[in-house]
Amino acid sequence: MTVKEFAEKLGLKVLTMPDGDREVTCGYAGDLLSWVMGKAPSDAAWFTIMSNVNIVAVAMLRDVAAIVVCEGAEIGEDVIARAAEQDVNLLLSDKGIYENCTELAKMI
């Protein structure tokens, strides 16, 4: 399913979506950036509560399909701007990581 379809089905708020046709093949949950850098699979929807600018760099390094910041964590304009500059899909959810992951698991 595409990032656009995924965002619509989960009711996610789109902060940046430069590549809505990108395929989401799996999910990954993690908040320790060094761990995510070594483990997140490409084409994943990455679920996190981290909201600093470093998430964009990690997403690019691991080539994830989208970052989903969960639990309504506050995201600064600098993070949104960096995601837009780097063509990273950045989404926001008020739901928890577990709830988002289980919903994605039902869809793929």
Integer-rounded Cα radius of gyration of the chain: 12
pTM over 0.75? The answer is yes
3-state helix, strand, coil in the chain (%, to 5): 40, 20, 40
Over the stretch 11-58, which tens digit does the pLDDT of each residue have? 999 999 999 999 999 999 999 999 999 999 999 999 999 999 999 999
**Residue whose structure tokens are 């990581």:** 97
Residues 6 or more apart whose Cβ sits within 8 Å of residue 59: 46, 66, 67, 83, 88
